[in-house]
Structures are given as C-alpha cells and as structure tokens.
Amino acid sequence: MMKRCTKAILYKDNLKYNLEQIKKAAGENTKICVAVKADSYGHNAILTSKLAEEMGIEYLAVATVDEGIELRKNGIGANILILSLCTPEEYDELFEYRITPMIFSFEVIDLLKKAACNCGVKDFPVFLAIDSGMGRVGCYPEEAGEEAKKIVEGGFLKLEGMCTHFAVSDSLQENNVSYTQKQYESFCKAVENVEKAGISSGIKSCCNSAAFLNNKNMHFDMVRPGIITYGYYPDEITEDYLKSVNNNFNIKPVMAFETQVVAIKAFKKGQSVSYGRTWVCEKDTKIAILPVGYADGLLRRFSPGLEVTIRGKKYPVRGRICMDQCMVDIGIDNDEVCLWDKVLIFGPEESGAKTTAENLAKIGNTISYEVLTSISKRVERIIL
C-alpha cells in the first residue's frame, strides 16, 4: 500500500450524484454510455464502471482493448464500446472479452469478419463510425449504406449501432453552432442511407457531454457523457450558461488532489527559487516545499499563477514546478502554516480546496480534461 502524502481523493458520493443528474437529464428512453477511458479521466475506471452498472447504465466507453479487458477482469458485465480503432492483432480479444468495436472501411470490415470466422463467432456486434465533420475516424455519410451492407454480409458481424463525434459542440460561437447542426444533419443522412440499404441502423449516438446538455434534439438513442461525469462542464457550456437557458443541470467535482508541507525554509530578499531562477524574492519570506510535481500531473505551465490551499487560505507557487516538487510562498510572519499541514491543489468544495481543475486549466491554457487525466499512476487514488 502506498503511504505517500501526495494523493487523489475520489468523492464517491459526488460521482453518484453526477450519474444521477445525467440519468435524470437523459430520461427513461435514452441509453447512456459513460466514458471511462483513460481510467475514467483519472478517476478510477473500476469505481465508475461498477457504480454506473449498479445504477442501471448499460454502456461504458473505453479507448483501448486493454482498458476493456481490465473492466471485464474486474467483473464488469455492461456493454463496452471502444471509441478508438483497434488493430487486427487485437481482434481475438474483442471476441473473448465481448468488447464492441467501432469500425469503418471495407478493408477493416473484411479483416474483422475473417477473424470472426476463424474464431467461430457469429453475429458479433459492431458500431459503424461516421465522420460527419470531426475529421478523424469514420466513413463519410454517403458511404454508410454500402459499408453497413458489407458489415452484415455473411452473418459474422451485426450492426449494433452507429455513432459520430462532434468537433465544436462545446462552443457557443455562431459559426460553431452552425457547424454542429451540419454535423448532426450529416449523421442523419448517414442513418438514412443505412436504412435505405435495408439495414437496421440500431442504436444511434452522437452526443458528447456538450451536445447532451445543449442539444436535446440530438440525443437519438444513446448519449455519451464524459467530462460531466467527473464534475466539470465542457468549455463554453458552463453552469451559468445553462441556467441562462433554463437548464438547471448541476454536477460536483469528484477528485481532490492533495499533498503535505514537508519543509519550510527562510529566504532572504534576492534569493531565487527553483530552476531557471524565474522568481526572485522581493523581500524576506518563507517557502514551503511540497512533494508534488509535473511527474504527478502538476504541469510545469501552472506556474506562475497556481495558488494552493493550506488551512483555508490560498498561497502562490513560486518558481518553476519541478518533476517531483514545487515551492509555495507562505510569507515571513506566517505562523499558521506548519510542517506536515495538508495542502489542497484542487478539489470539490467539501475537500476544502479553493481551486478547481477548471481554474488550473485556465492558468495552463488548456482544458479540465487534460488536468484530470494528467494525474499520474504514482498518485494513489483514495475512495471516500
């Protein structure tokens, strides 16, 4: 068991609350596919998957075959959908562990059918990926009918569903709103082409977190919430914006990232702190040293700007964040901060943190997704 003081605390009740809000917003007739890829955005995929399954959620989404296998080996029985592409070397494991791939292109369809035949598999479920404008994986809408026919020929595969992914549904800029609408219409055309080919389109899914919240007319049969599961809103689709359009959807951050003060040193005016001498004391002060750095996920670009919370007060990180340590300015006459005090880097309100992953994202010119998934494996996850 790890005993390191740098750890990530996962508030299970907040995770459950978020899933309840998602279920409520989706309604009884819309399936939910919770994104648990990248270890649930750093939040423990086994925890999220078991809780989702207990709550009646039917689908989980991963990015790799190995992620799906890990779920199966931990007793997860829900449908598992891979949102990224896999290689022929992994096909046998798809069949063995009942993991549903997204596929497109005649070449890949033929390879997967051949693998299914060799393994004695019939009617193996797959999703047809549609590129409606993301510019990533998927066939174009005009190709969907022929590819669907190719999938079902021979009876080795069955078309369980179709999906696409929106590129800018988290933006409120007029041109991006229009682009999302065009993507939706393109996906609808792909569905129409499959149905015209005499093939059932199955479960249709196009909504990520942003579209789920802001485009209820696009929900189709299944939505795929990701970042909102873990308590953060997608870019411009903020809580304040949702309230302005009479949508009271509410979520709570799940993770708190914390460490401890392991040393306190007095610094004189003119002394520098950390690599590159990017910060020099303007006056005498004290510096608290924290055993957390960019190898833990506290990205180097968070300084200057990051303030951590100690005993309910915020203190600035000084100098460059190192691989394993960072330094905090606590002031010369501060007797409140003591050796071994807990330090909160970010977290939900109940953790005592005064900073969120979204705050860090703004400092680092990135998104909360990256902040959360950057918390490394050497940071122990503690479930409350």
- pLDDT tens per residue, range 176-205: 999 999 999 999 999 999 999 999 999 999
Lookup: tokens for 227: 């970042």
| Token reading at 292 | 């957390």
Residue 253 near residue 357 (C-beta atoms within 8 A):
yes
pLDDT (0 to 100) of residue 182? 98
Q: Which residues make Cβ contacts (< 8 Å) with residue 134, sequence separation at least 6?
A: 164, 165, 166, 167, 183
Residue 91 annotated to the active site: no
Task: Please identify which of the residues 265, 269, 275, 362 carries the catalytic annotation.
Answer: 275
H or E stretch at 148: helix 144-152
Which regions in the chain score pLDDT beneath 70? 1
Contact residues for 252 (Cβ-Cβ < 8 A; gap 6+)? 11, 14, 17, 18, 231, 348, 349
**CB of 189 closer than 8 Å to CB of 123:** no
- Does the annotation mark 3 as catalytic? no
DSSP, collapsed to helix, strand or coil, labels residue 81 as strand
Q: Which pLDDT score is estimated for 1? A: 62
Query: Which residue is catalytic, options 37, 150, 204, 252?
Result: 37
3-state helix, strand, coil in the chain (%, to 5): 35, 25, 40
Using DSSP, state whether 206 is helix, strand or coil: strand
Q: What is the pTM of this model?
A: 0.96
pLDDT tens digits for 107-156? Answer: 999 999 999 999 999 999 999 999 999 999 999 999 999 999 999 999 99
What are the structure tokens assigned to 204, written together?
Answer: 């249709």
Q: What is the pLDDT of residue 366?
A: 97
